[in-house]
Amino acid sequence: MLIAWIFKQPAVKGKFGEWIVSLCLKLGLDSTVYRIINNVMIPDNDGGTTQIDHIVLSPFGIFVIETKNMKGWIFGDCKSNKWTQQIYKCKNQFQNPFRQNYKHIMSLADLTGLSKETFTHIIVFVGDCQIKTRDKLPESLITGGFGLISFIKSFSSPQIELSTLDMIQNSIQRGKLDNTFKNKKAHIVHVKGIVAAKEQSAEPECPKCGSPMIKRQSKNGVNPGGYFWGCSKYPRCRGIINE
């Protein structure tokens, strides 16, 4: 029971998902062609740090991978601030992984001096989940390790010279921070501060579909004249949040 409880903790589930993806990359990619860097913490442009799950360097491109170990139904698109995970009737929101990965790419661009177009987004979900809004998302959202390897190998046109790959790898190795307890703690504090600031300033997202919400005034019902947040896609979606 204790082991089962430990593996249900978000931090442990996240690390286990990263380990699965790391193993898939190691076994599925030729080490003489692809260079894999796992669990990289580098400075960001906000005076803090950003943690990148996996970076794959190759002559065919540089792939920046964000891993999610989740189950249930997943709803989201590239533009929303938050995505929704639904397990039976329980719904939880989490940060849009494409926005997370965009920050990773921008930080890598600053560190290496390369343009952001040099890097390729990959979001990989592992675990027993279904992406219910798959038609709204690009091909770079992958489910499972086999799909991840196939996607990376689909890039076969040489774009980067060996000397440039050496430069990029050296820049990352020099610029990354040690994964010490002190640095990890500072990173968590930094991330929590950013999330809290966004939640205070941003408009809420619909708990049903993830779309932006609009502040409206009730004309009738139990609280006439009161204000509430209604989904911007009303009447197609009738999600509300009471103030």
Tens of pLDDT, residue by residue over 9-57, are: 666 677 888 999 999 999 999 999 999 999 999 988 777 889 999 999 9
The CA distances from residue 201 to 167, 194, 204, in Å, are 40, 11, 9
Query: Would the pLDDT of 195 be above 60?
Result: no
Q: Say how far apart CA 87 and CA 123 lie, in whole Å.
A: 21
Structural tokens at position 222 = 């139990």
Which residues lie below 8 Å from residue 62, measured CB to CB, with a gap of 6+? 55, 56, 108, 118, 119, 120, 160, 168
Q: Say how far apart CA 118 and CA 132 lie, in whole Å.
A: 30
Helix, strand and coil content of the chain, in percent to the nearest 5, comes to: 35, 30, 35
Average pLDDT, the chain: 85
Could you give the angle at the alpha carbon of 237 between the alpha carbons of 235 and 239, nearest 5°? Answer: 115
pLDDT, position 183 = 65
Any bridge partners for residue 198, and if so which? none
pLDDT in tens, 143-184: 999 999 999 999 999 999 999 999 999 999 999 887 776 766
pLDDT band of 187, cuts 50, 70, 90: low
pLDDT, position 14 = 74
pLDDT, position 25 = 97
Say which amino acid occupies 42.
Answer: I
Percent of the chain with pLDDT over 90: 53
Q: Say how far apart CA 187 and CA 193 lie, in whole Å.
A: 10
Query: Would the pLDDT of 196 be above 70?
Result: no
pLDDT, position 69 = 94
Read off the pLDDT of each residue in 49-73 and give the average, rounded to a whole number: 95
Q: pTM of the full predicted structure? A: 0.74
Distinct helix (H) and strand (E) counts, the chain: 6, 12
Query: Would the pLDDT of 121 be above 80?
Result: yes
